[in-house]
A = this chain, B = another copy of it.
C-alpha cells in the first residue's frame, strides 16, 4: 500500500513537472530556471500540504526520487521541446493525470495524519492544484487553476472519493482508482466540451485582457 501511494506520487510529480517545464520554456527561461519550475510545479503542492500538516522536512526534500523525477521531466522537455507547441492537448492531458494522482495521494496522506474528512479532501485538492498555482505565480500570471474548466472542482471530487471510501472502509486501491478516474474524466470532459463554472453575472465585462489568454500557458 505504502509503495502504491509512493508510485502514484512519483508519476504525478513527473507529469506536473513536465507542465512546469513547458510553461518555463514557453517563457524562455534558461535551463536552470526550467528545472526550478519543473521542481516547483511537481512538488509545491505536496510541500505545502506537508508544511501545514506538520510533516517536516517534506517528503519531496528528503526522498531524492522526487528531485530525480522532476529534473528528468525538465531535461526531457527542455531538449525535446521541438514541436511541443503542437502538443498542447497532450500537455493538458498530462496535467489532468497529475492532478488526479496528486488529489488522491494528497487526501490519503492527510487522512493518515488524522485530519478530519472535510479538511483531508481539501488538502487533497491543495496537493493537486498547489504546484500549478506556484508555477503560475512564479510566471507572474493569475493561476489558470482559479479560472477555468472545473480544474479545482475535479481535484476536490477525486479527493472526496478517497475520503468517502475511507469512511466506508473500502480498500484504498479501489477508492484511489475511482477517485483518480473520476477526477481525470471530469477534467477531460471539461477540456473537450469547454465546460466552465459560472462567473458572477454582474461582474464587469470590460476587462478583456483576461479573456483571450485562456489555455495559453497550460
Contact = CB atoms under 8 A, between A and B. Distances in A.
Interface of A: 24-34, 36-37, 47, 51-54, 56-58, 61-62, 64, 67, 77-79, 81-85, 115-116, 118-119, 122-123, 133, 137-143, 145-148, 150-153, 196-205, 207, 210-211
Contacts of A147: 28-30, 33
A150 B30 CA distance: 9
Contact of A207 (B28, B51, B146): B28
A146 B138 CA distance: 9
Greatest chain B CB density within 10 A among A28, A78, A83 is at A28
Given A33-B146, A138-B133, A210 B28 contact: yes
**Copy count, this protein chain:** 3
Given A51-B51, A53-B56, A56-B51, A115 B61 contact: yes
Nearest to A68: B118
A152 B122 CA distance: 30
A78 to B, nearest CB: 5
Contact of A26 (B47, B115, B204): B204
Given A61-B123, A138-B142, 8 more contacts: A30-B146, A31-B197, A31-B198, A31-B199, A34-B200, A51-B52, A62-B115, A137-B138
B56 A54 contact: yes
Nearest to A54: B56
Contacts of A78: 200
A142 B139 contact: yes
A36 B47 CA distance: 19
Contacts of A199: 25, 28-31
Nearest to A152: B32
A135 to B, nearest CB: 11
A124 B77 CA distance: 26
A58 B52 contact: yes
A119 B198 contact: no
A27 B137 CA distance: 16
Contacts of A143: 138
A102 B147 CA distance: 28
